[in-house]
Chains A and B, each alone.
Chain A
Amino acid sequence: MGKAIVVTSGKGGVGKTTTTANLGTALALSGAKVCLLDLDIGLRNLDVILGLDNRIIYDIVDVAKGRAKLHQALIKDKRFEDKLFLLPAAQNADKSALAPEEVQKIVAELKPDFDYVLLDCPAGIEQGFVNAVAGADQAIVVSTPEISAVRDADRVIGLLEKQSLSEAPQLIINRIRTHMMNDGQAMDIDEITRHLSIKLLGIVFDDDQVISTSNKGEPIVLDEHNPAAQGYRNIARRLQGETVPLMNLESFEKQGFFSRLKNWFGKK
């Protein structure tokens, strides 16, 4: 029996969809069977980031309304031999097209066949959020080291705690700019974790390649040397119960002459 995990944040643009895609891919790479659910109905993106947008025939609303069977709507990612599947969102409907019970039903149908069901939650705390959380056993809250994102994460954690999920929400701090954090210009990891007072699941460094690979429909985790990819891979390992130390901000920065040089130019 698999585990359903919702990836949420409250605020938009912090990297929920990117996290869902990369975490799903990392879990699939490690051998787990993963299904990704895009619940951002009307503004679907997850399929694009995975490069599966041209293969959508049926979507989650079709399944919920009985117009298609679940297995007809699932899209298999051929790169990962039966390990990674996507249930895409509808594009020509809105968030109210789904009811929480319908999402619960779909997730319940998926859980026996998959190790992980990841639900990509839309931004906001309205119907779309309610739908996504209804189907989940566990929640991952994504935030960036910005006060507005942390504030919204706080709000969302408050709502999640009221939902009585079987496990407490965990935190991913995304898009960390090491030089800003080391200079004390951005909120640091300890500060954010202490403020939100939930368990830190992992950190992901900001990297230009995340955007360029997304544009090509290839999740960044496929490049195992990329620091952002390492962050996602570590998170996947922690989700599977391994103990992996947190990536170090300073050592990452001192990692090589070129990255230091890049940072140095970046600051100017």
Chain B
Amino acid sequence: MQSVVLKGHQDGYVINLKADAKFVDILRELTELFEQLQQDKKMDSEPLSFNITTGMRLLDATEKQKIEEIVSRYPLFSIHKITSEVMRVQDALEMIESKSIHLNANTIRNGQVEHVKGDVLFIGNLHQGGMLRATGNVFLLGRCEGIVHAGYPSNAEAIIVGNVHAAQQVRIADAVAIVAQEQVADDEGTVVYVNDLHVLDYTKHTEVKTIRPKLFARMGGY
């Protein structure tokens, strides 16, 4: 049985490594394959890039390294990417976590930092000196008198929606604003975002469609 299959696709060459084959066989056959390709290829010298798929098998770092090592012996060939049909449970959970909106009803007290992966709908109390920090967007319904940080540490696409009038600071990615110095309306519909000049700016929730069309579509607006 063949463990390594080369196929041509519309968008290039794909090498499929059979998931049920032994890895040593795969390495051997892969070497043979490249050896043969090298010989066929001698005429024209245009470099070729391959996508490698591993099906239902997940390669670890050392296995990937071994494959890359084989390919690196042939200067004409390179690997574009190695993909798989499966992923680790931990990675999957992390992905779910970072893609979903978390409901948070905690009391965040002075000196405490509440760190959320992904978006957060906050209905708790954020006291002065406390910090609510999310890697994604922050939607505020609760009382908010501390520091709100969206898009931590570097996602400047994130926004903060809600009444930040009483907050001490709003932060998105690396941009910081001291709320008392700005004229922020006492309004639940306030949206804080990073504008084209990379400065924090305030607008109304009705403008989300214009400033963040992708997010707006994801939230189900049209």
Question: Is the CB–CB distance between A155 and B129 below 8 Å?
Answer: yes
Question: Is the CB–CB distance between A197 and B129 below 8 Å?
Answer: no
Q: Mark B3-20, 1 if CB is under 8 A from A, else 0.
A: 000000000000000000
A152→B112 CA distance, assembly (Å): 12
Q: Which of B170-196 contact A (CB under 8 A)?
A: none
Residues of B within 8 A of A195 (CB): 127
Question: Is the CB–CB distance between B110 and A197 below 8 Å?
Answer: no
Residues of B within 8 A of A155 (CB): 109-111, 129
Residues of B within 8 A of A157 (CB): 109
Residues of A within 8 A of B104 (CB): none
Question: Is the CB–CB distance between A154 and B125 below 8 Å?
Answer: no
Residues of A within 8 A of B111 (CB): 155, 158-159
Q: Mark B100-125, 1 if CB is under 8 A from A, else 0.
A: 00000001011110000000000001
Name the residue on A nearest B145 (C-beta). Answer: A195
Q: Does B128 contact A (CB under 8 A)?
A: yes
Q: Which of the four size classes fits the interface of chain A?
A: 10 to 19
Shortest Cβ gap from A153 to chain B (Å) = 9
A10→B175 CA distance, assembly (Å): 32
Shortest Cβ gap from B203 to chain A (Å) = 30
A264→B110 CA distance, assembly (Å): 37
Name the residue on A nearest B109 (C-beta). Answer: A158
Shortest Cβ gap from B169 to chain A (Å) = 16
Name the residue on B nearest A158 (C-beta). Answer: B109
Name the residue on B nearest A162 (C-beta). Answer: B112
Name the residue on A nearest B107 (C-beta). Answer: A197
Q: Which of the four size classes fits the interface of chain B?
A: 10 to 19
Question: Is the CB–CB distance between A151 and B129 below 8 Å?
Answer: yes
Residues of A within 8 A of B112 (CB): 158
Q: Mark A153-179, 1 if CB is under 8 A from B, else 0.
A: 011011101000000000000000000
Shortest Cβ gap from B106 to chain A (Å) = 10
Shortest Cβ gap from A141 to chain B (Å) = 11
Name the residue on A nearest B124 (C-beta). Answer: A197
Residues of A within 8 A of B130 (CB): 158
A197→B109 CA distance, assembly (Å): 10
A157→B106 CA distance, assembly (Å): 13
Residues of B within 8 A of A158 (CB): 109-112, 130
Residues of A within 8 A of B125 (CB): 197
Residues of A within 8 A of B109 (CB): 154-155, 157-158, 161
Shortest Cβ gap from B167 to chain A (Å) = 15
Residues of A within 8 A of B128 (CB): 151, 154
Shortest Cβ gap from B56 to chain A (Å) = 44
Residues of B within 8 A of A197 (CB): 107, 125
CB within 8 Å for A152 and B110 given contacts A195-B127, A197-B125: yes
A152→B125 CA distance, assembly (Å): 17
A157→B111 CA distance, assembly (Å): 10
A157→B128 CA distance, assembly (Å): 13
A158→B107 CA distance, assembly (Å): 9
Q: Mark A112-155, 1 if CB is under 8 A from B, else 0.
A: 00000000000000000000000000000000000000011011
Q: Which of B47-102 contact A (CB under 8 A)?
A: none
Name the residue on A nearest B111 (C-beta). Answer: A155
Q: Which of A170-212 contact B (CB under 8 A)?
A: 195, 197
A159→B112 CA distance, assembly (Å): 9
A154→B112 CA distance, assembly (Å): 10
A114→B111 CA distance, assembly (Å): 35
Q: Which of B123-148 contact A (CB under 8 A)?
A: 125, 127-130
Q: Which of B110, B125, B127, B129 has the most CB of A within 10 A?
A: B110
Residues of A within 8 A of B129 (CB): 151, 154-155
Name the residue on B nearest A154 (C-beta). Answer: B110
18 example contacts (A-B, Cβ-Cβ < 8 A) are as follows A151-B110, A151-B128, A154-B109, A154-B128, A154-B129, A155-B109, A155-B110, A155-B111, A155-B129, A157-B109, A158-B109, A158-B110, A158-B111, A158-B112, A158-B130, A159-B111, A161-B109, A195-B127
Q: Which 7 A-B pairs have the closest CB atoms?
A: A158-B109, A155-B110, A154-B110, A155-B111, A154-B109, A158-B112, A154-B127
Q: A151-B128, A152-B110, A158-B110 are in contact. List 12 more A-B contacts (CB 8 A).
A: A151-B129, A154-B109, A154-B110, A154-B127, A154-B128, A155-B109, A155-B110, A155-B111, A158-B111, A158-B112, A158-B130, A195-B127
